[in-house]
Amino acid sequence: MKTIKTLIFVVAAALLASCATTVKFPVSNVTPAAVITAKKKQDKHDNYIIELTANNLAAADRLNPPRSHYIVWIISDNKSVINVGRLTNRNARNTNLKVTTPHNATAIFITAEDQSDLSFPTGVEITRASFDK
């Protein structure tokens, strides 16, 4: 009986995990110690949940030149560039951002900016990754 419960749990976990797309960002020349991943999944309302995790990401004010914020951007399937939020980090070991958007992201990237309410990226791009279709 215990074996059957364990098997059901493993199968359920595998099915849930298969519904999400996870990408690893390449090593950044600007923040080489950072290890960044993003996961995208669709909810029951046809919105997309994007979870970004960054480990060992230096604070934006420690960059050269210093910046104020890290901004997370997505490129939607209609090629629009959308600001989805600010990645708050003060030299933390890890930091996370979870957003819900109606836009299907084909790519995600992070920039270092002086302002957080931008409509388009103007600062230094930290790293970029593409979601598989």
Spatial separation of the C-alpha atoms in residues 24 and 117, rounded to whole Å? 26
What is the rounded distance in angstroms from the CA atom of residue 38 to the CA atom of residue 105?
11
How do the pLDDT tens digits run along the chain, 133 residues long?
A: 667 766 565 555 555 545 688 999 999 999 999 999 999 999 999 999 999 999 999 999 999 999 999 999 999 999 999 999 999 876 678 899 999 999 999 999 999 999 989 999 999 999 999 997 5
Nearest CA to 46 out of 108, 85, 103 is that of 103
Please give the structure tokens belonging to residue 44. 């029951």
**pLDDT attached to residue 48:** 96
Fold annotation for 21-130: Immunoglobulin-like (2.60.40)
